[in-house]
Amino acid sequence: RETIQTVIQECAIPLLAVRVSRQQVTPLLTFPRQAAASAIYLEADPLLNLQLARVLLPQARTVGVWVSTPAPAWLSSLRREARRLQFTLEEMRVSDDLEAVRALRPRLTRLDVVLLPPDSTLINEWSLKPLLLMTLRQGVPVFGGLTASYVEAGVLAAVVADEARLPEQMQRFIAELAHGRTPAPTYPTTVRVVINATVAQTLGLSADAVARARALFSR
């Protein structure tokens, strides 16, 4: 982080940060700098995972999600989307990864879905494995994650950046910066759905539901 901070502060030409999470890059963009800087976040917009969950699990009602303090910037839009999709959002207020693991256990029986927040302080290599073990034993599907590697690790499904098409968005941002404009940092505009077929089979999801989910953001 210190290296990135130094680059942003001392760089004399416009800078575009990519493949860095919103959590990581947002505080860095607040530092004084010589030239304009913007970012395309590593992760897809978290609310897209709620849309994915609704397609895969039309009967689901209660979604558990860990929330740090102070409330993260993505939470308000996630709440609105949960209401639109008729989900009840159960927010688990925690401050670190250990609390995240402890908070889930007593709530699992009343959750239909668990959503991973884009927060590496809470969800990381240490906490992900026990969280996935708990949810799989209870048959509770998990959605989300910063990248497709989370699905490879055992998350049921996630909406992630379509890296093959990311250069298109980067070119638009670079053109804006080159013309003296500073586009607001944003999520990737092109995304794709990744699904862990083994977990889907274990949870008894139908092939039709999986096919609908895979096609959700295709264009």
Q: 3-state class of 115 per DSSP? A: strand
Give the pLDDT score at 30: 83
Spatial CA neighbour of 87 closest among 132, 134, 53: 53
98-116 residue pLDDT tens: 999 999 999 999 999 999 9
64 compared with 206, residue with greater pLDDT: 64
What's the CA gap between 42 and 61, in Å, rounded? 28
The answer to whether residues 93 and 120 touch, using CB atoms and an 8 Å cutoff, is: no
- Between the alpha carbon of residue 121 and those of residues 23, 99, 144, 190, the distances in Å are 9, 11, 15, 26
Is pLDDT above 70 for 162?
yes
Spatial CA neighbour of 46 closest among 161, 165, 136: 161
Give the pLDDT score at 149: 97
- Between the alpha carbon of residue 217 and those of residues 16, 32, 80, 124, 186, the distances in Å are 25, 37, 20, 26, 18
20-38 residue pLDDT tens: 999 999 988 887 776 788 9
Is pLDDT above 70 for 49?
yes
212 compared with 142, residue with greater pLDDT: 142
- Between the alpha carbon of residue 39 and those of residues 89, 96, 117, 126, the distances in Å are 29, 26, 19, 27
Spatial CA neighbour of 48 closest among 193, 199, 170, 211: 193
What's the CA gap between 127 and 105, in Å, rounded? 13
Give the pLDDT score at 217: 84
Q: 3-state class of 194 per DSSP? A: strand
Is pLDDT above 90 for 12?
no
Spatial CA neighbour of 4 closest among 13, 14, 27: 27
Percent of residues, the chain, with pLDDT higher than 90: 84
What's the CA gap between 147 and 161, in Å, rounded? 7
Who's near 185: CB < 8 A, 6+ residues apart?
22, 25, 26, 29, 38, 39, 40, 41
Retrieve residue 171's tokens. 């070119």
Is pLDDT above 70 for 2?
no
Question: Rounded mean pLDDT of the chain?
Answer: 93
60-96 residue pLDDT tens: 999 999 999 899 999 999 999 999 999 999 999 999 9
Percent of residues, the chain, with pLDDT higher than 70: 94
What's the CA gap between 183 and 175, in Å, rounded? 10
Q: Domain locations in the chain?
A: 2-43+163-189, 47-160+192-214
Tell me the CATH number of domain 47-160+192-214, given options 3.40.800.10, 3.40.50.2300, 3.60.10.10, 2.170.260.10: 3.40.50.2300
pTM of the model: 0.92
